[in-house]
Amino acid sequence: MAGDGDRGLAGRAAAGDAAAFAVLVEEHAPRLHRWLVATGTPHHDAEDVVQEAFLRAHGAIARYDARWAFSTWLFTIAHRLRLDQAARRRDHATLDAVPVLAAEPPTDPLPEGGLWARARELLPVEEFRLLWLHYAEDQAPSAVARVLGINPIAARVRLHRARKRLEAALRADPAFTPAEVLS
């Protein structure tokens, strides 16, 4: 985890160092975008969320709590923005009766037939987000809980449940090599 270096950069950014903030953007913007797209956010919406998340982080950098990794803080902001965006879109869909999502070319980053693609097929989106934050973003369960706004114990339980469900589904799948899972 690049937490300690990011904490230092965030501290310098809070003291007014714009170059330190630029390093944080370079480091985290692609990761945040990848998480958003992998968990179902359309490509252009993901870019809007990334921009808005960094804008909020920029404005509130003085209030950044260094007890948490910068990525935890940033992903928390982005997750809330995405929830707001989804709620607004639902409202507009109800009012205007227009399609919720505009058609756009597929930009799926998950390799076909890979474990992450299988996990996304098998798991509810909330469990997939948990799994991603923990295993792909290397966030501790308490940090995952903070990002998703859930209880840390619930995060641990859901993480365990998601992993077990994935393992069980893969065991039952003849296309998957059981030995790789059961070892």
Residues making contact with other proteins (CB under 8 A): 13-18, 21-22, 25-26, 29-30, 33-34, 37-38, 43, 46-47, 50-51, 54-55, 58-59, 61-62, 107, 109-111, 114-116, 119, 131-132, 135-136, 138, 163, 166-167, 170, 179-181, 183
- Torsion angle defined by CA atoms of residues 102, 28, 71 and 124, in that order, rounded to the nearest 10 degrees: 30
Compute the least distance from the CB of residue 97 to other proteins, in Å. 30
For residues 92 and 128, give the distance between their C-alpha atoms in angstroms, rounded to a whole number. Answer: 27
Compute the least distance from the CB of residue 180 to other proteins, in Å. 6
Nearer to other proteins, 60 or 83 (CB): 60
For residues 31 and 130, give the distance between their C-alpha atoms in angstroms, rounded to a whole number. Answer: 15
Compute the least distance from the CB of residue 125 to other proteins, in Å. 16
Nearer to other proteins, 94 or 136 (CB): 136
DSSP assignment letter at 5: H
Distance of CA 37 to the CA centre of its chain: 9
Nearer to other proteins, 97 or 111 (CB): 111
In order of 23, 47, 118, 122, 140, the CA distances from 168 in angstroms are 41, 35, 12, 10, 24
Query: Which residues, 6+ apart, have CB-to-CB distance to 86 below 8 Å?
Result: none
Compute the least distance from the CB of residue 48 to other proteins, in Å. 10
